[in-house]
Structure 1
Amino acid sequence: MRILFLGDVVGRSGRAAIAERLPHLRLAWGLDFVVVNGENASQGAGLTAEHAKVILQAGADCVTLGDHSFDQKDMLQFIEQEPRILRPINFSKVAPGRGVKIFDATQGRKILVTQVLGQVFMKRPFDDPFSAVETILKTHRLGGAVQAALVEVHAEATSEKMALGHWCDGQASLVVGTHTHVPTGDAQILPQGTAYLTDAGMCGDYNSVIGMDKLEPLRRFITGMSSGRFMPAEGPATLSGVFVETDDRTGKALKVRMIREGGRLEQAAP
């Protein structure tokens, strides 16, 4: 199975890049399944129903959220209506929506997608991500009920993401980190066959401070004072993420490659 995961979509620029580029990429790369993190797609904080529809119509099979899952209040209701949107499985026991789902991919194959929040350096303590993921992967084993399994780790600390990658090794097709908006260069296949990338980066304007217009973040760093809210940068966006090809029999990774499409960080196709 050929799977594409794209990191945090940031603002109008990121949405435009998804709408313009993703339909072509699905065809050109023969993709079987696409997951997009959309939690910063609406004004850089959260995701509205309208903008979720834009990402899904562009070719995403699943849209994930994160610690900003419900910053846009209409998502509280929309996530109950749209099964292709996932929030973190350990977000809150009373949160609407779901944190895991088995999706239909091409040729009748099944893929499990789940998202978990880290605990280290996050603004509030979430439930243990390790036990949450373990329960899911033991219930839906690779090569059995599902032909592939994707675990997204929405977390701040690289060490925590790496630990979760090794924890899932052999039980997931891909473990990929999000949240920092900074792409890492460590795409690899772990010893027991799980593809891994510490952070997918963002789908946004990299002439920025993690996707935000530079002026306000610089002012706060230099003066310690705020004069307004952060606003997403609106220059050309780069689609950043990871491509993985899996073995349908075992669900394990055969190939993995970082993706940088368009904008300032463009590189060759997989």
Structure 2
Amino acid sequence: MKRLLFIGDVVGKAGCEFLAEKLSGIKHDNNIDITIVNGENSAQGNGITHASADMLIRAGADIITTGNHAFRRKEAMDIFEEEYMVRPANYPEGGCVGSGYRILDMGAYSVAVINLMGTALMEPLDNPFTKIDEILEDIDTPNIFVDFHAEATSEKKAMGHYLTSRVSGVFGTHTHVQTADECILGGHTAYITDVGMVGPEHSCLGVEVEPVINMFRFRMPVRFLEASGKCIICGTITQFDEKSGKSHKMERIFIR
């Protein structure tokens, strides 16, 4: 049995620093073999940069997944050529840098990490259900984990059921609020609607509260600023059989 740690959206400098402080201990205490971190908000002002990606890798991430802010920083587009970086696979092919999945060679076994983005209430990318079918035809390891970066809980649930017994795990990201519906679908596929975030707890999804309130009150453009204060780490630990790809247990972590 192997143990995979998935860390939810890391928000800004505070999130990166708190993860760097805590991740080594989390991995040691839980006998973690593989660590995936969603880093699409890791740069200040969102997006990902060379500096924020480097912090996540140095902290202990094996793979960094992203989402709708993947290409927010034009100066860091080349980072997606790195073997540890994944962008949503359903961006249109042809002019998009990077890869939508990576294969981690762990010696005696390998693990595929796929990144997809939802289209309900989000950007009109290619159909993620069609795209995942195409990708699965090319992957020859049974150990497959999917970061589904999506807004609608219904779309995330649908994807979880669609991939039941076809992948080892489906982890919802993007909404930054950890859900309590972790389960093993079909006795095979670990699933959670949203893993949560890493960043200041007293915030609105990691940014200062007042500008967000004003946006909803007055419907006027506001500038979001990274919140300060004590941070949280949200994630999941999945125990899986590396020979069959079957997940046996999933548990949430929430660290203040």
Bin the TM-score by the shorter chain: over 0.9
SS in 2 for 1:238: strand
Partner of 1:58: 59
- Is residue 119 from structure 1 mapped to residue 119 from structure 2 by the alignment? yes
C-alpha deviation, 1:50, in angstroms: 0.8
d(CA) in 1 for partners of 2:26, 2:252: 14
Partner of 1:244: 238
Partner of 2:4: 3
How many matched pairs? 254
- Is residue 213 from structure 1 mapped to residue 176 from structure 2 by the alignment? no
- Is residue 183 from structure 1 mapped to residue 183 from structure 2 by the alignment? no
The answer (yes or no) to whether the contact 1:12–1:234 under 8 Å persists in 2 is no
| Cα offsets for 1:37-92 (capped at 9, x unmatched) | 00011124101111100100110000011111011122211222x11010000123
Partner of 2:226: 232
Q: Which amino acid aligns with 1:164?
A: M
The answer (yes or no) to whether the contact 1:111–1:146 under 8 Å persists in 2 is yes
SS in 1 for 2:235: strand
Partner of 1:170: 165
* TM-score with structure 2 setting the length: 0.95
d(CA) in 2 for partners of 1:235, 1:252: 39
Q: Which amino acid aligns with 2:179?
A: T
C-alpha deviation, 1:139, in angstroms: 2.8
| Cα offsets for 1:179-198 (capped at 9, x unmatched) | 11111110000014100000
- Is residue 30 from structure 1 mapped to residue 24 from structure 2 by the alignment? no
C-alpha deviation, 1:244, in angstroms: 0.2
SS in 2 for 1:217: helix
d(CA) in 2 for partners of 1:95, 1:161: 24
* TM-score with structure 1 setting the length: 0.91
Partner of 1:266: none
Q: Which amino acid aligns with 2:91?
A: F
| Cα offsets for 1:197-248 (capped at 9, x unmatched) | 000111111211111100111111122223x410111222211111100012
Please, which runs of 5 or more residues in structure 2 have no aligned partner? none
Partner of 2:127: 128
Aligned positions of 1:36-51 closer than 5 A: 36-51=37-52
The answer (yes or no) to whether the contact 1:47–1:71 under 8 Å persists in 2 is yes
Aligned residues: percent identity? 38
d(CA) in 1 for partners of 2:239, 2:103: 18
Partner of 1:267: none
d(CA) in 2 for partners of 1:90, 1:43: 26
| Cα offsets for 1:1-57 (capped at 9, x unmatched) | 100001100011110111101111122211110000000111241011111001001
RMSD of equivalent CA atoms: 1.3
| Cα offsets for 1:108-149 (capped at 9, x unmatched) | 320000110101001x20100001111222332xxxx42511
Q: Which amino acid aligns with 2:112?
A: L
Q: Which amino acid aligns with 2:141?
A: V
Please, which runs of 5 or more residues in structure 1 have no aligned partner? 264-270
C-alpha deviation, 1:154, in angstroms: 0.4
Partner of 1:268: none
SS in 2 for 1:5: strand
Moved more, 154-163 or 10-19: 10-19
